[in-house]
C-alpha cells in the first residue's frame, strides 16, 4: 500500500491543524484565569518575566507551542486547586456533621489546604491543632 504524502493531503483539502499565534489578550487571559502574576506565569514555562511582559504588551509574539505548554500546565494548576477545594468542602461537611470523626492529622491537613487556597483558617480548625 502506498503512503500518502503531505502534498496529497493539501491538494485534497486535508490541512494540518496549525495553531495560531496567541494574541496579547489571549496570553493575559490565560495567565489571569489561573491567578498567576507575570513572574509566576513566566516561571511556569521557564521564561524571563520581561519576556512574558513583552508578550502581553504585544512587543513580541509568543510561540504557539509555548502558549500551549502554559495552558496545559495552567490547567493542571486549576484542576489541582479544584480538587483541593473539594477536599476542603468535604472536611467542612464532616466537621459540621460529626467532628468526633476527625483526628489531629485531619486538622493539620485542613490548615494546609486552607493556606494553599489562600483562605483564612477558621478558628474551628486552629482551636483543634496541637500547640
Count, residues in the chain: 131
- The model's pTM: 0.51
Alpha carbons 55 and 22: distance in angstroms, whole number: 9
Interval 14-45: pLDDT, tens = 444 456 889 999 999 888 877 889 999 999 99
Interval 86-128: pLDDT, tens = 777 888 888 777 777 788 888 888 888 888 777 888 888 888 8
Number of domains the chain is built from: 1
Interval 63-84: pLDDT, tens = 999 998 998 888 776 667 777 7
> Which of 31, 37, 35 shows the shortest CA–CA distance to 71?
31
Residue 88 lies in a domain: yes
Residue 8 lies in a domain: no
Residue 3 lies in a domain: no
- Domain carrying residue 47: 20-126
Q: DSSP label at 119? A: -
DSSP characters over 56-98: HHTSSPPPHHHHHHHHHHHHHHHHHHHHHHHHHHHHHHHHHHH
> Which of 123, 41, 121 shows the shortest CA–CA distance to 88?
121
Residue 13 lies in a domain: no
- pLDDT over 70 (residue 1): no
Residue 82 lies in a domain: yes
CATH number at residue 42: 1.10.260.40
Amino acid at each position: 500500500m502506498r503512503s500518502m504524502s503531505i502534498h496529497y493531503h493539501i491538494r485534497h483539502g486535508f490541512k494540518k491543524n496549525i495553531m495560531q499565534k496567541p494574541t496579547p489578550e489571549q496570553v493575559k487571559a490565560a495567565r489571569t484565569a489561573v491567578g498567576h502574576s507575570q513572574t509566576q506565569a513566566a516561571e511556569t514555562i521557564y521564561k524571563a518575566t520581561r519576556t512574558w511582559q513583552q508578550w502581553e504588551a504585544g512587543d513580541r509574539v509568543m510561540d504557539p507551542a509555548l502558549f500551549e505548554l502554559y495552558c496545559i500546565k495552567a490547567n493542571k494548576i486549576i484542576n489541582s486547586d479544584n480538587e483541593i477545594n473539594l477536599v476542603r468542602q468535604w472536611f467542612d461537611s464532616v466537621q459540621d456533621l460529626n467532628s468526633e470523626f476527625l483526628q489531629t492529622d485531619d486538622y493539620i491537613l485542613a490548615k494546609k489546604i486552607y493556606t494553599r487556597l489562600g483562605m483564612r483558617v477558621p478558628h474551628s480548625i486552629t482551636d483543634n491543632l496541637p500547640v
